[in-house]
Amino acid sequence: MSASLKIGLMGYGFAGATFHAPVIEHCGRASVAAIATGKPEAALADYPHAKVVADLDALLALDEIDCVVIATPNDTHFDLARRTLEAGKHVVVDKPVTLTADARTLANIALARRKLLVPFHNRRWDGDFLTVRDLLASGELGRVTHYESHFDRFRPEVRQRWREEASRGGGLLFDLGPHLIDQALALFGVPQTVSATVRTHRDQASAPDYVHIQLGYGEFEVLLHASALTAIVAPRFTIHGTRGSYVKYGLDTQEDQLKAGMRPGDDGFAAGNAAGTLRVLDGDREIEREVPTRNGEYVNFYIALADAIQHGAKFPVTPQDAVDVMTIIELAARSSDEGVRLPFERIR
């Protein structure tokens, strides 16, 4: 067994305390060795073995730290990640990695310093996404003609937090957009075109709460949708192909379980995902059956990180993936403003 990867956590708000620290501590290959936060009481209560420091400079001064996880407001990501890489540390950056396609700048610094820049696109390890990936690889649907992915919620009241402030990079385009886009790119590669409608519908809202993105792949379209005003939700995934269709309702269970205090390794963690429905041709007949949904695997993000840092394995999510996601987000915002479909051109 490899030695535990020593991780420093920059920020102990909702993301750091809910999605990063518990998964790091329970993945079996890493530990939260230090936490930088202005509110040390909660961090010390949860992780008494960790060093708790005031800021990034103090975190970077700790020689034992192998990698820093940036789990702070979106508008701080670029500067904190840049400073971490320039200090000679590997870095994981919560989504969005940046607020523009200048993620390429971070990628170039990481390459020059021979350090990892890892986007926290953890929803590649959602159980339903893993199931969709397996289903497409099986060929049962034939040639894909339509892929639709929804991440809908009903949150009619605007809360007072940075995640709802446009000036801080809040709103659904930056919050859920990176997950929806990254999953599509992982399945189909980069698109030829991007068009989008981005709106702010709720009273007193300043940041987008409705996002509808269309990625053009020539022979088929990918539709990505997120809304804060959906009380009766659409399927999480809808996929049509030349031999049939697949529909899956409900979100992956890991997020709600982590919020409720469950931890990886607990009985039932990552389980409980609703099955999907598959209807395909069998000879000249149509047959319909349930497709069990795989358990999610968020711990595998940090296991893969440990393998990459300690053994030189290739990490599944690349800096180029982060650049592609941010390029599409920029194109989506511009498409919505201008009312046009735009060509995708990869920034390298």
Query: Is residue 285 pLDDT above 60, yes or no?
Result: yes
pLDDT value at residue 102: 85
In this prediction, residue 139 carries a pLDDT of 97
CATH of residue 155: 3.30.360.10
Mean pLDDT of 39-52: 96
Q: Which domain holds residue 332?
A: 124-296+328-343
Checking if the pLDDT of 84 tops 90, the result is yes
Residue 318 lies in a domain: no
One domain for residues 31 and 150:
no
Task: For residue 102, give the 3-state DSSP assignment.
Answer: coil
Residues 168 and 289 placed together within one structural domain of the fold: yes
Residue 323 placed within a domain: no
> Is the same domain home to 135 and 220?
yes
Structural domains in the chain (count): 2
Same domain, 259 and 246: yes
φ/ψ (deg, to 5) at 128: -70, -35
Kindly state whether residues 213 and 338 are assigned to the same domain.
yes
Assess whether pLDDT exceeds 70 at residue 44.
yes
Q: Decide if 210 is inside a domain.
A: yes
31 within a domain of the structure (yes/no) = yes
Q: For residues 258 and 323, give the distance between their C-alpha atoms in angstroms, rounded to a whole number.
A: 28
Amino acid at 171: G
Question: What six digits make up the tokens of 225?
Answer: 């949708």
Considering the chain, what is the average pLDDT of its residues? Answer: 96
> Tell me, what CATH number does 53's domain have?
3.40.50.720
Contact in structure between 170 and 162 (CB atoms under 8 Å): yes
Between β-strands 244-248 and 237-241, what pairing exists: parallel, antiparallel or unpaired? antiparallel
320 within some domain: no
Q: Are residues 186 and 306 in the same domain?
A: no
